[in-house]
Amino acid sequence: MHNRFLRRVVVVAAYVMGVYLILRALVEPFLINYSQPQTYMHDWGGPTYVGVLAVHMVPGIVSLGLIIAHVRKTRRSRTHGKH
């Protein structure tokens, strides 16, 4: 019982963090002005625009993939009776 509860807490925390990273990836291109390098050159991934986008967007893309894989696995295990 305790182990199942702990697992659910970890999964919920991972989903919350994943959703945050996905939302961050979605809004990042709109928050920086690519035509003014001085606005992002000192950000993580700088001084290049591509580097800044990669550092801020790739974790969200990976999170989306992991969430989709987890949802598919959970659905598949529930439909096959392996809970």
- What tens digit of pLDDT does each residue of 1-55 get? 689 999 999 999 999 999 999 999 999 999 888 899 998 889 989 899 999 999 9
What digits encode the pLDDT tens for the residues 56-67?
999 999 999 999
Tokens, residue 4:
């199942």
Round to whole Å and give the CA distance between 14 and 66. 10
- What is the reported pTM? 0.82
Give the C-alpha distances (Å, rounded to integers) separating 73 from 50, 67, 83: 33, 10, 11
Give the C-alpha distances (Å, rounded to integers) separating 17 from 1, 37, 57, 59, 60: 25, 29, 14, 10, 9
State how many domains the chain has. Answer: 1
Give the C-alpha distances (Å, rounded to integers) separating 54 from 19, 20, 46, 49: 17, 16, 10, 9
Domain with 38 in it: 2-79
